[in-house]
Amino acid sequence: MRKLRLENIRSYKDAEIEFQLGKTLFEGDIGSGKSTILMAIEFALFGLGSEKGAALLRTGASEGKVGLIFEVDGKECTVTRGLSRKRNAIQQTEGVFKSPEESLDLSPTELKEKVLEALGFNEPPDPKAQSVIYRYAVFTPQEEMKTILLLSADLRLQTLRKAFRIEDYKTAADNARELSNRIRMRSGELDAATGDLLVLEKRIEDLSGQVQIKQQALEALAQVEQEKENLLNSLKSERNKLQAAELELSAVTAEIAHAEKTIGTKKREIENAREEVKRIKEKSKRTGLKVEELEAVDNPTAKSQEELKKEIKSLEKREKELRKVETQVEAKIGDYESIRENMRCPTCDRPADPAEFEEKIKAKKAEREDASNDVNACVLLMDETRNLLEKKGEYDIAQDKLGDLRKELDEYEKESEKWSSKISSAQEELEDEKKKLGTAKVGLERLKETSKKLRELEDELETVEKGLRKIRDEISAAKTSVKDWNRQIEEYGEQVKEKKERKSRAEALKEYRMWIDDYFLPSLGLIERNVMLSINQDFNSNFQKWFGILVEDPEKEASVDEDFTPLISQDGYEQDVRYLSGGEKTSVGLAYRLALNTIVQKVATGMRSNLLILDEPTDGFSKEQLGKVREILDEIQSPQIIIVSHEKELESFADQIYVVSKHQGESKIIMREA
């Protein structure tokens, strides 16, 4: 063990302890907090066990934690457990296990399992149980050791069997007896399940006989079925010929109906085509009259509408220009008349001669008249051109209509020719259908007797088919019976096979049970007794050795009986342990404890621990006995021993000393030199 850390554990708020190899002593007054250290170590390794969380969590604290670092086979491991107060309950929280290979967050149960694996303690990881191996091979509270001394022989032996792992023999024996009982019950069940084996075999024999008889009947029915099938096939062949003739008759009848229908259709087509030709000719005649009417329309000019439109546009422009000149001349006349009347130039304000402007006015008026004549001539020409454009448009429309009408005349001519061709084709097809109709009527007379013969043959076929169906129904029923019987035979065969296997298993189970009851259980009991006797002798030797060191009284002798009950005698008289003095009880308890520790470490297979914890081992010892403790500790030769005691005399035995004290409800730990 390397280091222990406490946070809010009983009287400790925050404490850390470094452990060294050798003998470590924790001393202090009663109630100072020494036992808490041992409780914390056990809690860190194995959880609460049978303890309550309230026994560890500091009063008033909501959370507490214990961390322990220990070393196994040179590998350092760290385990951390926590406590949490929730409402009125205190529960363990998820813990942590660290090793050089891994770091795991684990539940309390998983954490205990991991620690047991690391320590090599071969016991179940029950979170509500204490580690039996730890309690007897590493640490046992002194009060528990005294308790085991005073237990009844049965309870003490039961406890020691767990510690010595002898309980495995009892468990194996109980399991073997349970297995034997189950084998007995199972073999009985198998025997009961095979009671009707002979009945099933008789059923198989009877059904096999019935199958043989029915198979013979099936052979006779198969012969009759073949004869019926041959007759039926012959009749069907004849029927096929008649059906072919009937199909031909049907085809001829259909052909006559089709020909008559086609003839009527063709006649209607010819009549409709003739009516259509007549209608087309009338429409062509009306269209021809319209063509003649449109051909009479004259062309007003060789110019196109676009050319006429351009001339109109040019005349409109010319009109604007002439009117502009007219307006300018009119304005000039107004200016001259103003100067003439005012006799002064409006621009330079010089005097002007009215006679001079009289001539100008006269000239301008002549110019105005010429301009007006040009405007009127332009307007007249423009009106004539517009009238010509309108007539040209009417002519062009007439020409377009004339083209359309001529196309219509061509279409009418083509359509008339098409309908005339249809009339010719329909007349030819009409003649062909009339010839087909005559031929079909001749064939109809030849096939009139076919239907009568076919009806007579169908009646005969029906009679033969009924007989064949009856035979086949009988065959089917017989085959169904055979199939059902064979299925029953197969099922009974499977049952017989299964029951024989069960019978064989029952015999084998009886042999297994005989081996368990007659050989295994007696051998197991003998082994257990020999192992227990060997452990008892070894235990007794160790117990006597430790007792002899602690109690130097040649008149007192100590030993254990076959139930590991300590026997103390003086002068040949046995003494009750309960009536020994306090120091003597402690000596017996310590000797018993050391013997138990030695044996458990020896028999606990796979356990890896070099630690021994002694809790108040010298309660009631005299000074002479305290001196003997050094001798015992030296002889034990455990690499790491932790002693909890309030005895000052033990300081001289220790390699390290921790002083535990409590002040105002809080424990403190101080290390001082040994």
Of 67, 76, 71, the residue nearest 111 (C-alpha)? 67
Residue 478 within a domain = no
Euclidean distance between CA atoms 6 and 552, whole angstroms: 42
Placement of tokens 């000019």 in the chain: 301
CA distance 422 to 427: 8
DSSP string, 601-617: HHHSTT----EEEEEST
Examine residue 98 and state whether it is found in any structural domain, yes or no: yes
**pLDDT tens digits for range 228-278:** 788 778 877 777 776 676 666 667 677 777 777 877 887 888 788 778 778
Q: What is the pLDDT of residues 158-170, one digit of tens each?
A: 777 777 777 778 8
Span 41-68, pLDDT tens digits: 999 999 988 788 888 999 989 999 999 9
Instruction: Give the rounded percent of residues in the chain with a pLDDT score beyond 90.
Output: 15
**Does a structural domain hold residue 578?**
yes
Mean of pLDDT values over 440-451: 65
3-state SS, residue 141: coil
In-domain check, residue 205: no
Q: pLDDT value at position 6?
A: 95
pLDDT at 344 over 90: no
Q: 407: burial class by Cβ within 10 Å (0-12, 13-18, 19+)?
A: exposed
At residue 519, does pLDDT exceed 60? yes
Other C-beta atoms lying within 10 Å of the C-beta of residue 518: 10
In the block, residue with structure tokens 């033990």: 650
User: To which residue do tokens 């554990």 refer?
Assistant: 9
Helix/strand/coil (H/E/C) assignment for every residue in 273-313: HHHHHHHHHHHHHHHHHHHHHHHCCCCCCCCCHHHHHHHHH
Overall domain count for the chain: 1
> What is the pLDDT of the chain when averaged over all its residues?
83
Residue 252 within any structural domain of the chain: no
Residue 525 to residues 160, 374, 529, 536, 561: CA-CA distances in angstroms?
Answer: 17, 158, 6, 16, 19
For the whole model, what pTM was predicted?
A: 0.51
CA-CA distance, 469 to 314, in Å (whole number)? Answer: 111
442: pLDDT confidence band, cut at 50, 70 and 90? low
Is the model more confident about 439 or about 107?
107
Q: If residue 401 lies in a helix (H) or strand (E), which one and from where to where?
A: helix 354-446
DSSP letter for each residue of 105-121 = EE-HHHHHHHHHHHHT-
Count of CB atoms situated within 10 Å of the CB of 491: 13
Distance between CA atoms of residues 115 and 110, nearest Å: 9
Note the pLDDT tens digit of each residue in 293-319: 777 777 878 888 898 889 889 888 988
Distance CA 436, CA 379 (A): 85
Helices 305-342 and 354-446: crossing angle, nearest 10°?
Answer: 160
Quote the percentage of the chain above a pLDDT of 70. Answer: 94
- Is residue 477 predicted with pLDDT exceeding 70? yes
466 within domain boundaries: no
Q: Residue 239 in contact with residue 457, Cβ under 8 Å?
A: yes
Q: Where are the beta strands (DSSP E) in 299-428?
A: none
Helices (H), 151-196: 153-164, 167-193
C-alpha 545/C-alpha 554 separation (Å) is: 13
Query: In which band, very low, low, confident or very high, does the pLDDT at 445 lie, cut at 50, 70 and 90?
Result: low
For residue 531, give the CATH number of its domain. Answer: 3.40.50.300
> Has residue 588 been placed in a domain?
yes
Residue 142 is predicted with a pLDDT of 66
Q: What is the per-residue pLDDT for 447?
A: 61
Among candidates 611, 614, 607, which has minimal Cα distance to 645? 614
Q: What is the reported pLDDT for 147?
A: 72
Question: Is 472 part of any domain?
Answer: no
- Whether the predicted pLDDT of 103 surpasses 90: yes
Domain assignment of residue 63, given as a range: 3-166+521-672
